[in-house]
Amino acid sequence: MPLLVMKFGGTSVADLDRIRNAAAKVKAEVDRGYDVIVIVSAMSGKTNELVGWVNETSPLYDAREYDAVVSSGENVTAGLMALTLQEMDVPARSWQGWQVPIQTTSAHSAARFVDIPRANLDMKFAEGFKVAVIAGFQGVSPEGRITTLGRGGSDTTAVAFAAAFGAERCDIYTDVDGIYTTDPRITSKARKLDKISFEEMLELASLGAKVLQTRSVELAMRYKVRLRVLSSFDETDEQSGTLVCDEDEIMESKVVSGVAYSREEAKLTLVTVEDRPGIAAAIFGPLADSGVNVDMIVQNISEKAQGSDKPVTDMTFSCPVDQVARARKALEAARDAGHINYDTLEVDEDAAKVSVVGIGMRSHAGVAARMFRALAADGVNIKVIATSEIKISVLIDRKYMELAVQALHDAFELDKAG
């Protein structure tokens, strides 16, 4: 029997009416002849409520008990979904992570998959059950404790089940009807994409597009799991939503497929750093150890320190604004320990990152020049530039972010198909 994985996010199961709506979509696939594995998130807002209760009860909480509490939201949704399907005469059963069992590492609140044994679910499908409803976001550690996968982990759960069971497709139901060329809230010209490659989606997700969790796209790309993103609130058919697939399935790609942005970025510059072998490791090692997500890095041309023969340089990098205090503390500790030396740390917390992404960049020259001309024409100054094979990112003043997104969307004519 062919098998589908269907994942419903928090807004799609926010109340009983929405659970009934989601269940009707599952029943429609069962009526088409599929066995279905359904992955559910907690009802919208429930996980935040549970996290709040944990923090109020114990600010320095035990991570094992944190996972026990915050994973309970998905358990409730899974049970309600199974009951709703049973009321529709669909043979369904709910499963918590430990019952499958979804085997993970012991890293509580940030666990990773180790294995998803098929035996228990295969046995139930063989007995005549048509739907297995799985509580997303959770698993079980080697010690037998409940673990959670980090926020957005239900997307990753869905992809992992699709890979483990060889699903025909993994459908991600959310509150938007697909992947757009950019945020429709910024430009009304944003266009829904019919298809996008794994690599492009991974870049967009990592750069701020919040439709899919980054880890889920990484997993889908590794195991070639075809993803479809579509709305749980619209009528859907085989052509609905956006298909995230292998590059080979896309006949012809535009040079640029989308424009992504990250609003809350900061630019940090270490002024007058000794320029020597190992200095980059001495700077970015402590930042990594402190959990600072460094993105764009620029090192200036070396100069001689005044009154010294030793060459010096400036090192600039970006990170999320909410990690600036952590970065400052890590760098000051490294200087106090004698691992690095610098005159000052300059911090600009009023930055944003805007990026263009497209697999077509591999075979087309002039993308950067076109991007920079479009920004210059609208008076947007670039602070830092970073590139990869299919991406160009710039750091700019935050007040120009929406203008930059609109300018780039127009410059690459993303409102036009083909």
310-356 pLDDT tens trace: 788 899 999 999 999 999 999 999 999 999 989 999 999 999 999 99
Strand order from edge to edge, sheet including 138-140: 113-115, 103-104, 138-140, 146-148
Q: Which residues contact 304 (CB under 8 A, 6 or more apart)?
A: 310, 311, 312
Structure tokens at 285: 């090692």
Amino acid 229: pLDDT: 92
Number of alpha helices (DSSP H) and beta strands (DSSP E) in the chain: 12, 19
Amino acid 209: pLDDT: 62
User: pLDDT higher for 177 or 65?
Assistant: 65
Model pLDDT for residues 133-175, shown as the tens digit of each residue? 999 999 999 999 999 998 778 999 999 999 999 999 999 998 8
Model pLDDT for residues 178-198, shown as the tens digit of each residue? 889 998 889 989 999 889 998
In which band, very low, low, confident or very high, does the pLDDT at 281 lie, cut at 50, 70 and 90?
Answer: very high
- Going by their DSSP bridges, the two strands 146-148 and 138-140 should be labelled as antiparallel
pTM above 0.85, yes or no: no
Q: Mean pLDDT over residues 371-380, rounded?
A: 96
Domains in the chain, CATH or no CATH each: 3-248 (3.40.1160.10), 260-411 (3.30.2130.10)
Model pLDDT for residues 205-256, shown as the tens digit of each residue? 777 566 787 888 999 999 999 999 998 888 877 778 899 988 888 776 778 9
Asked if 242 and 179 touch (Cβ cutoff 8 Å), the reply is yes
Asked if 412 and 256 touch (Cβ cutoff 8 Å), the reply is yes
Tally of CB atoms within 10 A around 152: 19
Tally of CB atoms within 10 A around 301: 8
Amino acid 409: pLDDT: 96
Structure tokens at 227: 């993803």
Rounded distance, CA 108 to CA 105, Å? 8
